[in-house]
């Protein structure tokens, strides 16, 4: 009977500790750029630059970033960085994450694009996390459309 009481008391202490954690608004993430990087073999690499906005009243410290990028509803690229930093209260920072694209993803996307009449308004979803330890890891999702230049037409 004592062990049951001990377990219940431990559970209540854990629940009260979780309820004392501060309420945080979710991070706001925007893709601000994609730049080519040197790849290896059949791999294509890019640096995805994201703006991370901290809409909270406390400084957010992070020690790594992970990203997954889907384009046209298909997995396209993923990447990680062990970059460390902090985002001040009610502040923002731009973080660059190198991502890799497999040859298979490039072929799949090329086929999907060939079925489209234009390269404008290609939907993307960016999922990721800023690692900040056990209680400070923040997950995020950003979505939108990519507007890529299409073929140039016109008279000479």
pTM for this structure?
Answer: 0.70
Q: pLDDT (tens digit, 9 = 90+) per residue, 28-42?
A: 998 888 888 988 887
Write down the pLDDT at residue 83.
Answer: 93
Average pLDDT, 10 consecutive residues per value, the chain (156 residues): 63 51 79 87 88 92 93 89 94 95 68 54 89 82 71 43
Contacts of residue 99, Cβ cutoff 8 Å, sequence gap at least 6: 45, 46, 47, 48, 67, 69, 77, 78, 79
* Helices first, then strands: H and E counts in the chain: 2, 9
**What is the three-class DSSP state of 3?**
helix
Domains in the chain (CATH in brackets) are 24-133 (2.60.40.1820)
**What is the three-class DSSP state of 36?**
strand
Helix residue spans in 41-138 (DSSP H): 103-114
Q: pLDDT (tens digit, 9 = 90+) per residue, 47-67?
A: 999 999 999 999 999 999 999
């Amino acid at each position: 009977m004592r062990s049951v009481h001990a377990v219940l008391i431990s559970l209540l202490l854990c629940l009260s500790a979780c309820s004392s954690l501060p309420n945080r608004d979710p991070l706001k993430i925007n893709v601000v750029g994609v730049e080519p990087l040197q790849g290896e073999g059949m791999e294509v690499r890019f640096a995805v630059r994201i703006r991370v906005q901290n809409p909270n009243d406390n400084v957010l410290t992070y020690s790594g970033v992970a990203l997954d990028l889907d384009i046209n509803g298909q997995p396209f690229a993923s990447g990680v960085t062990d970059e460390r930093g902090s985002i001040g209260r009610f502040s923002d920072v731009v973080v660059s994450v190198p991502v890799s694209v497999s040859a298979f993803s490039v072929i799949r996307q090329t086929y999907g694009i060939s079925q489209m009449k234009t390269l404008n308004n290609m939907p993307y979803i960016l999922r990721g996390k800023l690692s900040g330890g056990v209680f400070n890891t923040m997950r995020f999702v950003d979505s939108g459309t990519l507007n890529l230049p299409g073929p140039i037409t016109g008279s000479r």
